[in-house]
Chain A
Amino acid sequence: MTEIFGIPLQAFLSQLLLGLVNGSFYAMLSLGLAVIFGLLNIVNFAHGTFYMMGAFGAWLLLQYLGLNYWFALILSPIAVGLLGVLVEKSMLRWLYKLDHLYGLLLTFGLALVLEGLFRQQFGVSGQPYQVPDLLRGATNLGFMILPNYRAWVVVASLVVCFATWYVIERTKLGAYLRAGTENPALTQAFGVNVPRMVTLTYAFGVALAGFAGVLASPIIQVNPLMGNNIIIVVFAVVVIGGMGSILGSILTGLSLGVIEGLTKVFYPEASSTVVFVIMAIVLLVRPAGLFGKEK
């Protein structure tokens, strides 16, 4: 049997894939955080909660309306996005002129409240969600067995992330967003409806988290704490990549997932801390993050 550094190739590859799957979630979540932070100047601590609600959306749609995974993949992020519109218009709007800290505190409080409500309603034990029929099973690639659903998660999130990157960096709409991020007052003076753009950007960012939540629901148990578990790592990813860089957050998310996966193979004891060790090193060497610009 083939081995890499004394590890069976099979085990190595499957950990790599697992890392890539986790990395896909990190990428989608940190991308949303970066876009929101860029335009709104708000560290969205409720991001994990929106991810959790995306997953619950999928479960609820199936449970109460009988709508399957594919409907959920569209409807749940839309619902989460609409909730985002509500949050932005009713609460965040009042904080833009204040320090970052206020936005962070508000969204943190919001996360606690929403999570509390879900815990109250659904408990913490978690709800199972089935892999959709189309993506059941695995494909034998010869050198490894590839679980179809995991492959789908990686592909779907890569497509969504790079589509987002493309729209922001290469289109007119993206030019408005970049301009608004850099100088909102002047962008608005040119006649761009910046307040509406801010609302839609927040909605898009949290809808992306909701989408990630739906993708995650067949992999992990849908439960009110799932956002909590992942968001800590995602914030570390954002710190490493640098707040506000689109491509940076995608690449950092993916590669940290992979690094975490590989650490599991070679030194399992460190696998849950490796991201934070990297974060500490990056903060010492490049405080603005790998892709961030000093302000």
Chain B
Amino acid sequence: MRKCPRIPASWRLTWERRTKVSTAATETKTALSISGLHAWYGESHILHGVDLKVHQGEVVTLLGRNGAGRTTTLKSILGLVGSRKGSIKVNGIEAIGLPTHQIAHIGIGYCPEERGIFSSLTAEENLLLPPEVQAGGMTIGEIYAMFPNLEERRHSQGSRLSGGEQQMLAMARILRTGAHLLLLDEITEGLAPVIVQTLGRVIGQLKDRGFTIVLVEQNFRFAAPIADRHYVMEHGRIAETFSAAELEAKMDMLHEYLGV
């Protein structure tokens, strides 16, 4: 019987390194890769195996009826649900086992459905609150140029801002941190058409800057022109995926899913 020759440690390292580098190279093109994601709030099982991939620089929507599990999907990425299972890779790094505060540092900016403006902080304190997670975030000057209202209101208490201003602020404060993957939950909800238009322009500018964006939306007219791809969720699963080009053909199906 022939004995297997022992591979010298230095070789093994090289091989390990080589495979690591090559997988990292393919994975850098995927900003977010979710597979078999299950999530629970206490006893209630909400997500039943979500699979979803977002490439770097893409704008992707998560559509679906109320209660389909879109917010829960975003929260699961950040570890804000009761418990979760499966795989969530952000920039190639597995996030499923990380505590919430470390997940932000792999490059995620989160804008929650309820906006989450801190009422005991001023507008500017809110803006400066999220710690920098990576180098190369937008400067305060660039942010104020994008949202002029916020500069005027910077000394106001968070609780004194209008709904539109709060939404701008909730968006603005995650642009400073250097996070390149933005998770935006229903940013147009309850806002006047002018403000929705402004937000549409902002998303366009962010896309040009190379941000990767996951948009949870009800407002399909807002989402359709800016997204590259669409995911439709139902009952805690992804029911459909299609690209912007296929949109026309999928309209009927979409009406059925969204019940509009």
A residues adjacent to B (C-beta < 8 A): 172, 175-176, 178-179, 181-183, 185-195
Contact = CB atoms under 8 A, between A and B. Distances in A.
Interface string B39-71: 000000000000000000000000000000000
A181 B101 contact: no
A191 B130 CA distance: 7
Contact of A178 (B116, B120, B131, B133): B120
A190 B101 CA distance: 7
Contacts of B105: 191
Nearest to B112: A186
B184 to A, nearest CB: 13
Contacts of A176: 129
Ranked nearest first, the 6 interchain pairs of A and B with the lowest CB-CB distance are A191-B104, A190-B130, A188-B100, A186-B116, A178-B120, A193-B101
Nearest to B130: A190
A237 B99 CA distance: 38
Given A176-B129, A190-B110, A185 B101 contact: no
A98 to B, nearest CB: 14
Contacts of B244: none
Interface of B: 78, 80, 99-105, 110, 112, 116, 118-121, 125, 128-131, 133, 174, 177
Contacts, number: 58
Contacts of A181: 120
B129 A175 contact: yes
B103 to A, nearest CB: 8
A190 B118 contact: no
A216 B177 CA distance: 46
A193 B100 CA distance: 8
A192 B128 contact: no
Given A175-B121, A183-B118, A191 B101 contact: yes
B116 A183 contact: yes
Given A175-B129, A190-B110, A191-B131, A182 B100 contact: no
A190 B116 CA distance: 11
Contacts of A192: 101, 131
Nearest to B77: A189
Contacts of A188: 99-101
A178 B118 contact: yes
A195 to B, nearest CB: 8
A189 B118 contact: no
